[in-house]
Chains A and B, each alone.
Chain A
Amino acid sequence: MSTTIDLDEPAVGPTFTPISTGRKIRNGIAAVLVTLAFLVAVVPLVWVLWTVIAEGLSVVLRPGWWTQSLNGLLGRQQGGGAYHAIYGTLMQSLIAAAIATPIGILVAIYLVEYGAKSRLARATTFMVDILTGIPSIVAALFVYAVWIAILGFDRSAFAVSLALVLLMVPVVVRSTEEMLRIVPDDLREAAYALGVPKWKTIVRIVIPTALSGMLTGISLALARIMGETAPMLILVAYAPFINYNVFAGNMASLPLLMTVERANPTEAGSDRIWGAAITLILIITVFQLIAALLSRVTAPKTK
């Protein structure tokens, strides 16, 4: 190949060209920007997690944090635990979930399977969209106005649950609706053609097919309401002791514990805030993990 002569040169230019310098530069700039955006998004997240763990880990590892309340402790006294607040957070959000999930799923079933394009369905979708954006304090004030001011009930953990229901229902409706819509109509028709009534098709074919995604949506909605604070501030007062009765009396919850201890300038106070923060993150994480597991188990398989 060392003795190439002019005659061996191709008569026309090559079909393929190298990557132009301009494109290399643009590619480089875009890569840097995308990476920077990623860092801007991730750094604060990692920072928050790191701070919470650094400040709170020793607190939640103390004996009694998961089993005791703060009953009888002075503000500056170390010790005690968050059992009362953990109980409150779990009860309030699980009661809300127990009410909101069936309502949300039934509304979504109506919208997808029965409502089709009817005016009622369109109006419902519109209302759900508005409700999705409702601030939690508005939901709390609404429950205060109806449940406490008009119907005359006392402030209680159950009132908090009712406000959380208002916040959770639209999220469950939207996510369930999306999941039901992506179930192919082929499957519904296959079931009808076997002589299966519509309701049974929905319960035994459509919902099992969509279940995996529905569970993810419900767990996201649950995570959202677990961190809510406004309804607790308005609808129930903080109690440093354990109250098992959701219908009467004051009851703590993790967000409320943090808000109340913020007024406590001592080291014990800030320890409790960080401890409560890490506890809340842990509880939400555990629920997410359970949901992810359930969603994997229930997902349609191909192998």
Chain B
Amino acid sequence: MAKRLDLKDVDIYYGSFQAVDGVTLSIPPNSVTAFIGPSGCGKSTVLRALNRMHEVVPGARVEGEVLLDGEDIYAPNVDPVSVRRTIGMVFQRPNPFPTMSIRDNVVAGLKLQGVKNKKVLDEVAERSLRGANLWNEVKDRLNKPGGSLSGGQQQRLCIARAIAVQPEVLLMDEPCSALDPISTLAIEDLIANLKKQYTIVIVTHNMQQAARVSDQTAFFNLRATGEPGRLVEIGDTEKVFSTPTEKATEDYISGRFG
């Protein structure tokens, strides 16, 4: 089942450099939240802090609380691996595993967690590929390598792979920025479907996309170059795009800066 995410006064550092300052926001279950803002404003950093992926960078740390249904994912005894099992992620560039077939790519998460039952894996593969609107295109070539698909198909394969482990939350880091408009549309339709089962957070540079797919929008910005990024405004997408409370949001959305 989808769960809610709450951020309470989150600061993110890379070594001594503070990248993000004091972000507080709530993401309700079964909703799509879009993070928008100019490059370098920390929106991807915040996204990666939501499943502890930023820890891959040495020296990165988070202060404040990130709560998944009230449970702090940064509590001292929490294994980051278990956090990532619960909060999945789709990346900017499609990254299927090159040594694996389409089917094995989809079930990679389960297989690497030790599931061996072929019947279970086949079922999960079909269900996930259907969930990612890819089943009809690949059902006759499940044993072909993942790299044989087109870019848009590869990205849907990666989404299928992410939902195969049945996370509660799905994080998407500019999932359409490497795709053409038709593939982008396919992914956006998919996001609308996935919302029924998952809580979705999507980072995007494309404001029309944010307006199309999201329920609420969070606008991030820097006070000045070299300063940490911060959350300027969060609200219902409709309201943020029509009557934003902050002038910076209005300027950004109307294209006057950024």
Q: Which residues of A contact B (CB under 8 A)?
A: 116, 184, 186-197, 200-201, 204-205, 208-209, 211, 298, 300-303
Q: A190-B95, A195-B85, A195-B113 are in contact. List 14 more A-B contacts (CB 8 A).
A: A186-B91, A188-B56, A191-B97, A192-B81, A193-B84, A194-B88, A194-B109, A195-B165, A196-B108, A205-B112, A208-B99, A301-B147, A302-B147, A302-B148
> B82 touching A195 by the CB < 8 A rule?
yes
Q: Which of A194, A211, A298, A301 has the most CB atoms of chain B within a 10 A radius of its CB?
A: A194
Cβ of A189 to closest chain B Cβ, rounded Å: 6
- Which A residues touch B158, using CB under 8 A? 190
Taking the closest CB of chain A, its distance from the CB of B145, in whole angstroms, is 5
Tell whether, in the assembled complex, residue A209 and residue B97 are in contact, meaning their CB atoms are under 8 Å apart.
Answer: yes
- Chain A residues with Cβ below 8 Å from B51 are 193
Contact of B81 among A187, A195, A208, A302 (CB under 8 A): A195
Q: A204 and B112: CB pair below 8 A?
A: yes
Pair A193/B81 contact, Cβ less than 8 Å: no
Shortest beta-carbon distance from B51 to chain A in Å: 7
**B230 sits at the interface (CB 8 A):** no
CB pair B112 A194 closer than 8 Å: yes
**Contact in complex: B144, A193 (CB < 8 Å):** no
Task: List 5 A-B pairs, Cβ < 8 Å.
Answer: A194-B161, A300-B98, A301-B148, A302-B145, A303-B144
Write the chain A residue with the least CB distance to B101: A301
List residues of chain B with CB within 8 A of the CB of A197. 81
Interface size class of B (residues with CB under 8 A): 20 to 34
Interchain CB contact under 8 A, B112 and A186: no
With a cutoff of 8 Å between Cβ atoms, the chain A residues found around residue B211 in the complex are: none
Are B109 and A303 interface neighbours, CB within 8 A? no
User: Which residues in B have their C-beta under 8 angstroms from that of A300?
Assistant: 98-99, 145, 147
Contact residues in A for B161 (Cβ distance below 8 Å): 190, 194
Chain B contacts of A195 at CB under 8 A? 81-82, 84-86, 109, 113, 165
Q: Return the chain B residue nearest A183 by Cβ.
A: B98
Interface residues of B in 69-109 (CB under 8 A from A): 81-82, 84-86, 88-91, 93, 95, 97-99, 108-109
A197 to B81, CA, bound (A): 6
Chain A residue at minimal CB-CB distance from B144:
A303
- CA of A298 to CA of B100, assembled, Å: 11
Q: Which residues of A contact B144 (CB under 8 A)?
A: 303
- Shortest CB distance A40–B (Å): 40
Q: Given A116-B58, A187-B95, A208-B99, check contact A193 B147 (CB 8 Å).
A: no
| Closest chain A CB from B202 CB (angstroms) | 15
List residues of B (113-133) whose CB comes within 8 Å of A's CBs. 113
**Chain A positions within 8 Å of B108 at CB level:** 191, 194, 196
Chain B 132-172, CB-CB to A under 8 Å as 1, else 0, gives: 00000000000011011000000000100110010000000
Report A-chain residues with C-beta under 8 Å of the C-beta of B89.
189, 193
Docked pose: A139 CA to B157 CA in angstroms? 51
**In the complex, what residue of chain A is closest to B88 when comparing beta carbons?**
A193
**Contact of A194 with B91 in the complex, beta carbons under 8 Å:** no
Measured CB to CB, the closest approach of chain A to B97, in angstroms, equals: 6
A190 and B147 contacting across the interface, CB-CB below 8 Å: no
Of chain A, the residue at the smallest CB distance from B109 is A194
Cα A189 to Cα B47 in complex, Å, equals: 14
Q: Which residues of chain A are within 8 angstroms of B145 by Cβ–Cβ distance?
A: 300-303
Q: Are B97 and A187 in contact, CB atoms less than 8 angstroms apart?
A: yes
- Residue B53 is within 8 A (CB to CB) of chain A in the complex: yes
Q: Nearest 4 CB-CB pairs, A to B?
A: A195-B85, A194-B109, A300-B98, A193-B89
- Complex Cα gap A200–B109 (Å): 11
The chain B residue sitting closest to A208, CB to CB, is B99
Given the complex of chains A and B, what is the CA–CA distance between A209 and B56 in angstroms?
20
Partner of A194, one of B58, B99, B148, B165: B165
B100 to chain A, nearest CB (A): 8
Distance from B257 Cβ to chain A, minimum over Cβ atoms (Å)? 31
Give chain B residues whose Cβ lies under 8 Å from the Cβ of A187. 95, 97-98
Quick check: A184 and B53 within 8 Å, CB to CB?
no
Contacts of B97 in A (CB 8 A): 187, 190-191, 205, 209
Most chain-B CB neighbours within 10 Å: which of A190, A195, A302, A303? A195
Query: Which of B56, B98, B147 meets A189, CB within 8 Å?
Result: B56
B91 CB contact (under 8 Å) in A189, A200, A208, A211: A189
Do A209 and B98 touch (CB < 8 A)?
Answer: yes
A209 to B88, CA, bound (A): 23
Residues of B within 8 A of A188 (CB): 56
> Chain B's nearest CB lies how many Å from the CB of A57?
42
User: Closest approach, in angstroms, between the C-beta of B189 and any C-beta of chain A?
Assistant: 23
Cβ contacts under 8 Å, B88 to chain A = 193-194
What residue of chain B has the Cβ atom nearest to residue A188's Cβ?
B56
Instruction: Give the complex CA separation of A212 and B9 in angstroms.
Output: 47
Residues of B within 8 A of A209 (CB): 97-99
Q: Which residues of A contact B147 (CB under 8 A)?
A: 300-302
B56 x A184 contact (CB < 8 A): no
- B112 adjacent to A193 (CB under 8 Å): no
For residue A186, which residues in chain B have a CB less than 8 angstroms away from its CB? Answer: 91, 93, 95
